[in-house]
Amino acid sequence: MINYNKVEKSPVELSKKDFVSDQMVKWCPGCGAHAILAAVSNVFPKIGYKKENFAMVSGIGCSSRFPYYVDTFGFHGIHGRAAAIASGLKVANPGLSVWVATGDGDSMAIGGNHFIHVLRRNIDINILLFNNRIYGLTKGQFSPTTPMGSVTKTSPHGTIEHPFTVSGLVMGSQGTFFARVPDNNVKLMTEVLYEAAKHNGTAVVEILQNCIIFADKVHDMVTNRETKEDRQVILRHGEPVIFGKDRNKGIILKGTSLEVVEIGKNGITEDDILVHDMYSTNPGIQRMLGWMKAPDYPVAMGVIRAAPSESYDDLAERQIETAKKTSDIQSVNDLLRSGETWEI
Amino acid sequence: MVQKNAVRELEDVVVKFVGDSGDGMQLTGTLFSDVAALAGNDLATFPDFPAEIRAPHNTIAGVSGFQMHMGKRKIYTPGDMCDVLVAMNPASLKANMKWVKPGATLVIDTSTFDEKAIEKAGYTLSPLEDGSLDGYQVIKAPVTDLIKEALSDLDIDKRLAERTKNMFVLGILFYLFERDLELPLNFIGNKFKDKKKVVEANQTALKAGYNFGETTETIRVTFRVDPAPLEKGLYRNITGNVATAWGLLAAAERSGRTLFLGSYPITPATEILMELSKHKSLGAKVFQAEDEIAGICSAIGASFGGHMGVTTTSGPGLSLKSEALGLAVITELPLVVVNVQRAGPSTGMPTKSEQSDLMQALFGRNGESPLMVMAASSPANCFYYAYLASKYAMEHMCPVILLTDGYLGFGSELLRIPDVNDLPAINPPMADPNDPKYKPYSRDEKTLVRKWAAPGVEGLRHRVGGLEKTNIDGNVSTDPLNHQLMVNIREEKIARIADYLPLLEVNGEPEGDLLVVGWGGTEGALTSAVNRMQEEGKSISHVQFNYIKPLPKNTREVLSSFKKIVVCELNNGQFVNYLRMMFPEIPYNQFNKVQGLPFHVQELTDEFTKLLEE
Ligand SMILES: Cc1ncc(C[n+]2csc(CCOP(=O)(O)OP(=O)(O)O)c2C)c(N)n1
Ligand code: SF4
Ligand SMILES: [Mg+2]
C-alpha cells in the first residue's frame, strides 16, 4: 500500500505532461535513458502525489542529468553522493517522494559506501540505477559492472576485475526492495516503478540501459527482441516462474539451487514450477532468482524482492514523537536550566 | 616554621587531579569544581585523557587527569602550572611534576607506592624518599589503609571500598580549601540514588578524608579563595562541545527550522554528536552517517529540504568534506560546519589541540569557493558562536565553518544562562508559496542572498546542483561571462556579511606600542598575559578575532594603530599569513607554537616583553 500518511496526495488528477520540464534533453539519440524518462513521466501521475512533493536527486554521470528533465524539485549533486543527499532530504521531510537517479559508477564505485548504507538503513527512497555497465559521461572507462575481460578505454587488454551483480549487492546489503527491467520494456518499467513507489523503504530498480556510444549491446544477449523471451523471465508475485517463447520453460528449486526445466518433459508439470514470492522476508530464493545469468539461465525481470519492513524515516519520526511526549525538556530554555545550576 | 592551619588567601589557584584511568579523576575534578562554583568562584576546567581507552595499569600512558582553575577574579584559562597536585599513583606523579609550581601542595596516595608501581612509573628510587619532593607541602595519605579503617564498621566488599579512594582524597581537598561538605554529600546521594551501599561507602570515605585533613600533622597551610564578583544570574558549568550543541539547538528553535545533524564520530568533536542525539524532544534529527562525506551530504540534502543542516567534525573529517562544501557554496544553501580542531596532519594527535585547520577552512576546496569562517574563543562562548554561525548560514544562505578546538571542546567554564528569547532573532529568507516571481537565483539587492525554497512547498519547483548556473534563472550554463558573474557574486555575498558583524573590540588602549593578535581558542591565555602586563604599566593591547572571513570592518584601522603587532597562534602562522594577504602594508611579528599544548601565560609575557624591549 502506498503510505499516504507520509506523502500528500494530489487533489487534482495529474497527467504525463505535468512532469515534462522545459529543459532540452541532451542524452545521445538511441540512449536507453530516454525510455527511463518516458516510464517515469508515465508513472508519476499514476502514483498520485502532489506535484510539489516529488523530489529528484542525482549524482554525476549521464544518468544523473535526469532531474533536469522532469518538472519536480531537483537536486543535481556530486559524484557518488546522491544516496547520502537523498537520505538527508527524506529524513528531514518524510512527506516527500524522493527519487534518486544514478549510474553504475555513481552508485557502486565512488558512491558504494552510501549505496550499501542507505539499503541497510532502509530509508524510504527510490533509486533508479541506470546500469549501462560503463562510465558514459567520462567517455567509456570500465565500471564496477563491466563484464570481465571487456575492452574499454582504460582496459585495452580487457578488464581483470569481477563485476558486481547488482541484485547480489543489494541483497547483501539487506535491501528490502529490488527490481530489474530492460530499457526496452517501458510497460514493465512503469509497473515496476509503481511498485517501488509503494514500497516503504529503499527501493532499487536496476535498469539494463544501453549506452549506444561506449558499450553498445552490452545487454544484448538478454534484451535482444529476437531472443528475449528465452533469455528473460518476468517475475510476478504469486505466479509460477515460467518463460520462453512457447511459455514451456520454468524454474524449479532442486536441492539448494534453481534449475531450468521444460514443462511436459521428464514428467514436469506446471505445478512443479517455483511460485514467486516477492514479499517473502527471507531473501534466500529471491537471491537465487536475482543471481540467474544468461545464457544458462533466464535473467529475472520485474520485482524480485519487496520485503515489508520498517523504514528508517518512520522510526526516526516515531522516536522524536515519543521524546516530545515524554521528556521534561520542551525548549532550549528548559535544557539550559536542567541539571546542576546555581544562582549568584 | 609556619603554624599548622595558617590560612593563605588566594586570588586564584590551579588544582590538578591525576591518577590511573580507573581512579575516577574526571568525576573527582568535576565534583570539586561544582563545589567551587557553588561557593561563588569563577572557574575553568580541562580534562587530560590518556589516548588509550584502557592503558596498562600504573603506567605513564594510563595517566588520566583533570585540571581546574578557580579564583575570586575572572578566570580565563584552566591554568598553566598547578598550585595543588593530587596524585593517586607513582606514574601520575611522575608524569605531572613538570606542571607543578615550586612550593606547591602535593596530596599523594602513598598506599599505591609499592616497589612494582614505582618501577613501572620509571622511578629508580621512591620519590617519597629520595628528597625530590623537598620544598613542597607534601600531604601523604595511605588512602587504601585509611579507607579500610574508615569503612570497617560497614559491610562493604573490597572492590567497592577501593573505588571510594577518590572520595577520600576529595575530602582532604575540601578540608584544604575550607569547603562545606553538604553539597558533595548530597551529590553522592543523588548520583548513586538506588545503591544505598555505594552512597554510604562514598559518603563515609569523603568524611574520613576531611577528618584526616583536620588531624594530620602534615597540613601546615590551608587555603581560602573568596567568591568572585560575578554578574548576578543563573549559572552552570559547561564544556565547549556541549555549549556548541546547545547553541545549535537554540538557533533551530529561534529560526523555526528543524535541526538536522549529519555527522560521523571523530575525536574531539564526537561529544557534539552524542549531545545532540539526546535531544529528540527538541525535535533535533540526528543522523550518524557512514562517513564524513555522507555526514555533510545528508546535511546538505536536509538544508535543501528546508532544515537547518549541520555537520560536525575534526580536521581529517573536514578534509573529507571538502568537495561537498563546494556543493553547498554553489547551491547557496545554509550549512553549519563545526570543526573541532586537533593536532594534525593526518591522524596526528587526536586528543591534543591545535589551530592548524584555518587555511583548510578558508581555502581547502577546488574552484573559487568562498564561505564564511568564524571561531569560538572560550568554552562558554561556543554557545553563542554556534548560535551565530547558524544565524549567518541561514540568513545569508551560505555554508559557515565554525572553528573550535579540542581545548575549547573538552574544557569547561561557567556559563551565565541566557534566556533564549533574548538572543538575536533569526529570520531565514523563506520563499513564499506560489510566488509567481520566484526564481532560484534571484537575489536580495542589499545582501545578494537568494530565497530558500524547500520541496513540498507549492509553486516553487526548481533545481539546484553542482553545475554552474545562470544568475536568477538557475539554468545550467557554461557561459564565460555568467561564470565570472557568479564567481564574483558568491565572493561579494560573503564579503557583505561584514555589514552585519560587530566591530573588533580592543582590550586596552586603541593605540600603543604592541598589539597582541589572536583568534579563536587562545583568547584566555592571551587575555591573561596582556592583562598582567597592562597591570605592570606596559603599552600593550589585545584583540581576538572571532570572525575570520569576512573580517570585521575595522580590522585595518585596529591593526594600523600600533607600532608593533604580534600574531599568536597554535600553528605555524596561518592567520598571520592571511592577514599579510589581506593587509600587506602592515608589518607583522608572529609567535607560534605547535606542540598540541595551549599557550602558557609565562611564555607569552616573555615574548611580549622581548618585543617591547627590542
Ligand atoms: C569526484 C569526481 N570524480 C570523478 C568525476 C568524473 N566522473 C564523472 S561521471 C563519472 C562516471 C560516470 O559513470 P556512471 O556513474 O556509470 O554514469 P553514466 O555516465 O554511465 O550514466 C566520472 C568518473 C567526477 N565528476 N567527480
Ligand atoms: S554516452 Fe551513453 S549513456 Fe551517455 S547519453 Fe550517450 S548513450 Fe547515453
Ligand atoms: Mg554507467
Q: Choose the closest CB to A341 out of B234, B303, B475.
A: B234
| Cβ contacts of A90 on chain B, cutoff 8 Å | 301
The CB of A66 under 6 Å from ligand 1? The reply is no
Question: Are residues A163 and A293 located together in one domain of the fold?
Answer: yes
Q: Nearest residue of A to residue B324 by CA position?
A: A78
Question: Are residues A64 and A114 located together in one domain of the fold?
Answer: yes
Strands A177-182 and A299-306: what pairing? antiparallel
Return the residue whose CA atom lies nearest to atom 24 of ligand 1.
Answer: A79
CA separation for the pair A158, B289 (Å, rounded): 37
pLDDT tens string A289-344: 999 999 999 999 999 999 999 999 999 999 999 999 999 999 999 999 999 899 98
The CB of A213 under 6 Å from ligand 2? The reply is yes
B512-613: same fold as B236-422? yes
Ligand 2 centre distance from Cα of residue A32 (Å):
8
Q: In the CATH scheme, what architecture does the domain B236-422 have? A: 3-Layer(aba) Sandwich (3.40)
Count other C-beta atoms under 10 Å from residue B564's C-beta.
18
CATH 3.40.50.920 matches B512-613: yes
| Cβ contacts of B285 on chain A, cutoff 8 Å | 91-92, 316, 320
Predicted confidence at residue A5, as pLDDT, reads 62
Strand locations in A88-243 (E): 97-103, 125-131, 177-182, 203-208, 232-235, 242-243
Ligand 2 centre distance from Cα of residue A27 (Å):
6
Question: Are residues A172 and A113 located together in one domain of the fold?
Answer: yes
Ranges in chain B, pLDDT < 70: 1-4
Question: Are residues A255 and A302 located together in one domain of the fold?
Answer: no
Strand order in the sheet with A232-235: A232-235, A299-306, A177-182, A203-208, A125-131, A97-103, A54-58, A73-76, B463-465
| Cβ contacts of B464 on chain A, cutoff 8 Å | 74-76
A26 has a chain B CB within 8 A of its CB: no
Residue that finishes a domain, picked among A256, A275, A294: A275
Please tell me the number of Cα atoms within 13 Å of A247 on its side-chain side: 4
Q: Is B543 helix (H, G, I), strand (E, B) or coil?
A: strand
Ranges in chain A, pLDDT < 70: 1-5
Hey, which of A24, A25, A31 would you mutate to test ligand 2's pocket, going by the most ligand atoms within 8 Å of its Cβ? A31
The CB of A105 under 6 Å from ligand 1? The reply is yes
Predicted confidence at residue B1, as pLDDT, reads 38
Residue B137, strand partner residues: B105
Predicted confidence at residue A3, as pLDDT, reads 47
Structural domain harbouring A150: 16-237+276-333
CA separation for the pair B439, B451 (Å, rounded): 8
Question: Are residues A28 and A166 located together in one domain of the fold?
Answer: yes
Hey, which of A183, A212, A218, A219 would you mutate to test ligand 2's pocket, going by the most ligand atoms within 8 Å of its Cβ? A212
Count other C-beta atoms under 10 Å from residue A307's C-beta.
21
B508 vs chain A: nearest CA distance in angstroms? 28
The CB of A191 under 6 Å from ligand 1? The reply is no
Predicted confidence at residue B4, as pLDDT, reads 54
Question: Are residues A298 and A310 located together in one domain of the fold?
Answer: yes
Question: Are residues A198 and A60 located together in one domain of the fold?
Answer: yes
Strands A299-306 and A232-235: what pairing? parallel
Q: Is residue A52 part of a domain?
A: yes
Question: Are residues A156 and A209 located together in one domain of the fold?
Answer: yes
Q: Average pLDDT, whole number, for chain B? A: 95
B302 has a chain A CB within 8 A of its CB: yes
Ligand 3 centre distance from Cα of residue A211 (Å):
8
Query: What is the CA angle B152-B154-B158, rounded to 5?
Result: 65
| Cβ contacts of B38 on chain A, cutoff 8 Å | 342
pLDDT tens string B557-586: 999 999 999 999 999 999 999 999 999 999
Predicted confidence at residue B156, as pLDDT, reads 84
Predicted confidence at residue B51, as pLDDT, reads 72
A76 has a chain B CB within 8 A of its CB: yes
Interface of A with B in 166-225 (CB under 8 A): none
Residue that finishes a domain, picked among A251, A275, A299: A275
Q: Is residue A343 part of a domain?
A: no
Q: Choose the closest CB to B233 out of A333, A340, A344.
A: A344
Count other C-beta atoms under 10 Å from residue B493's C-beta.
21
Mutate which of B235, B287, B421 to disrupt the A interface (most A C-beta within 10 Å)? Answer: B287
Taking CB atoms and an 8 Å limit, are B420 and A336 in contact across chains?
yes
Predicted confidence at residue B220, as pLDDT, reads 86
Question: Are residues A227 and A305 located together in one domain of the fold?
Answer: yes
Predicted confidence at residue B191, as pLDDT, reads 84
CATH code: domain of residue A46: 3.40.50.970
A337 has a chain B CB within 8 A of its CB: yes
Contact (Cβ atoms closer than 8 angstroms) between residue B83 and residue B98: no
Count of domains forming chain A: 2
**The pTM is what?**
0.96
Predicted confidence at residue B374, as pLDDT, reads 98
Mutate which of B463, B469, B476 to disrupt the A interface (most A C-beta within 10 Å)? Answer: B463
B553 has a chain A CB within 8 A of its CB: no
Nearest to A285 by CA among A235, A247, A245: A235
Residue B239, strand partner residues: B412
Which CATH superfamily does the domain covering B6-224 fall into?
Pyruvate-ferredoxin oxidoreductase, PFOR, domain III (3.40.920.10)
- Ligand 1 atom nearest A132 alpha carbon: 20
| Cβ contacts of A331 on chain B, cutoff 8 Å | 253, 282, 420
Q: Is B402 helix (H, G, I), strand (E, B) or coil?
A: strand
Helix H segments across chain A?
A: 33-47, 82-92, 104-108, 112-121, 166-172, 186-198, 220-223, 228-231, 284-291, 312-326, 332-336
User: What ligand is nearest to the CA atom of residue A212?
Assistant: 2
Question: Are residues A178 and A266 located together in one domain of the fold?
Answer: no
Return the residue whose CA atom lies nearest to atom 22 of ligand 1.
Answer: A138
Mutate which of A25, A65, A81 to disrupt the B interface (most B C-beta within 10 Å)? Answer: A81
Return the residue whose CA atom lies nearest to atom 2 of ligand 2.
Answer: A211
Predicted confidence at residue B113, as pLDDT, reads 96
Question: Are residues A116 and A207 located together in one domain of the fold?
Answer: yes
Return the residue whose CA atom lies nearest to atom 13 of ligand 1.
Answer: A135
Predicted confidence at residue B192, as pLDDT, reads 86
Ligand 1 centre distance from Cα of residue A116 (Å):
18
Question: Are residues A253 and A138 located together in one domain of the fold?
Answer: no
Domain residue extents for chain B: 6-224, 236-422, 512-613
Q: Choose the closest CB to B230 out of A75, A95, A344.
A: A344
The CB of A33 under 6 Å from ligand 2? The reply is yes
